[in-house]
Amino acid sequence: MGRRAEPSARVDRTVRIVAAGAGAALALTLAACAVDPAAQVPAAAGSASAYPTSAAAGALDTSSAEPPGRDDHDHDVPDAPPPADRAAPVAAGFAAAWARSDLPASRWWPAVAAYCDEDFARSLRTVDPALVPASRVTGRPRATQTPRDGRAVFEVPTDAGTLTVRLAGVGGRWRVTDNDFRRAASR
């Protein structure tokens, strides 16, 4: 009977050895995956290892790492819409800067861009101010979409027609996101 138990003991021992080897391989694989390639210490001259060493793993700075299960945007809270009473002055300022067709582009663009979100400011870089039809603002902005939920639209009268200015709350401030111009009817 002792002989029949022996193959079973060998199988159990073999299973344990294979399981231990698989566990060790898994641990090494996970350890290699956890090392930042940018933090790897170059192998010493003549060294045959191309893998990160424990010295490289110790050089990692984990002081700024987020806890597991979070990403960089988990703590971002959307900005509250800017105060409604601050929208009209932004529309007026943009309109006054936009209507300065007498300025060279090198002075016109920074003046209008100061009121705009990044994308719209970038698109205005191609505008030749000499082609802007208005030369001055003739009245106050009038809300056609009252400032609410981070959006607003104003019409601003100029000497050549009506400038429509679209605003959005960006980073807690009103920014111009688009404009349109409707020429006054000729008499």
Q: What is the pLDDT of residues 45-79, one digit of tens each?
A: 444 444 444 444 445 455 555 556 555 555 556 67
Q: How far apart (Å, rounded) are the C-alpha atoms in residues 123 and 125?
A: 5
DSSP 81: P
CA distances from 76 to 68, 71, 171, 172 (A): 17, 10, 12, 14
User: CB atoms < 10 A from the CB of 93, how many?
Assistant: 19
Q: How far apart (Å, rounded) are the C-alpha atoms in residues 43 and 68?
A: 31
Q: How far apart (Å, rounded) are the C-alpha atoms in residues 168 and 154?
A: 12
The pTM assigned to this predicted structure is 0.60
Q: Judging by DSSP bridges, how do beta strands 151-157 and 161-170 pair with one another?
A: antiparallel
**180 beta partners:** 164
Q: Average the pLDDT over 169-174 and give the result.
A: 94
Q: Average the pLDDT over 39-47 and give the result.
A: 46
- pLDDT of residue 24 exceeding 80, the answer is no
Taking phi over 0 as left and psi of -120 to 50 as alpha, with beta for the rest, 105 belongs to alpha
What's the pLDDT band for 80 if we cut at 50, 70, 90? confident
Q: How far apart (Å, rounded) are the C-alpha atoms in residues 36 and 59?
A: 10
